[in-house]
Amino acid sequence: MREKLLALNDLQKLDAEVAALRKTAEAYPVQLEALKKELGTAAAVVQSERTRLGELETQRKTLEQNIQDDKEKVKKWEQRLADQRTTREYSALAREIDIAKKATATMAEEVNELGRQVTLAREAVKAKEAEFAGQNDRIGGQVKELQEKLAAVDGQAKALEEKRAAAAGSVDRELLARYDSVRRKRMPALAPVVAGACQGCRMMVRPQLYNTLRVTLGTDLCPSCGRIIYAAEALEPPKPPAEKA
């Protein structure tokens, strides 16, 4: 029975290693997602600055075109002044020309202000693009490192699982089936009983059960947690026979 327990105990050690690796790997996808989200946020900031710059440039071009249109309109009106037949018509057209010139002057001031804002916006875009480039390099390096770690963990886990499959072949089939059934619910599935207490759940087992485990060096199920239990003495190396006097 000792050999069966040793084989099962070795199998559980491999399962524990695989579980630890998988647990470590659980954090990597979360970290990768966080890094991608951070990079996406940074890219959105750059795009927002570019959009604002585009809007300012469009406003400035629209005003410049309006100014050009108004200047051409004023030029035509000025050419028509001499053709006005009455003073009233002349004054009305002259007033329209004056209003158009004042509006053009106001738009020219707005164009100048927009030009200043465009310059600032271009500087902001340039700064955000440089900041994003730095973040992209930094985050890209971190993403690559995490992907390499994840690949390494997967490789190690697969190697351990192959080793586990080989080790499972050395375990008693009935004992293995019971172990796998418990393992799906909780780990460790195999626990020793020390001083009458199951080391899986720390609960005391019945004295009669504990004595039976110690005498038979066999296995049973813990009444509290359902784990496979055995007396710790079962895995102790056999004592050499006493020498005759």
Question: What is d(CA 60, CA 79) in angstroms, rounded to the nearest whole number?
Answer: 29
> Based on the domain organization, do 164 and 189 belong to the same domain?
no
Q: Which two tokens stand for residue 80?
A: 């028509």
133-165 pLDDT, tens digit each: 999 999 999 999 999 988 998 898 889 989 988
Structure tokens, 93: 């057209």
* Together in a domain, 163 and 188: no
> Which neighbouring-strand residues pair with 194?
197
- 44 inside domain: yes
Sorted by sequence, the CB contacts under 8 Å of residue 193 that are 6+ apart come out as 199, 205, 210, 213, 229, 230, 231, 232
Can you spell out the DSSP letters for 1-14? -HHHHHHHHHHHHH
pLDDT digits (tens, 9 = 90+) for 203-242: 999 999 999 999 998 899 999 999 999 999 888 876 665 5
The residue out of 112, 147, 168 marking a domain boundary is 168
Query: Do both 109 and 196 map to the same domain?
Result: no
In the chain, how many domains are there? 2
142 with 21, same domain: the answer is: yes
Same domain? 125 vs 223: no
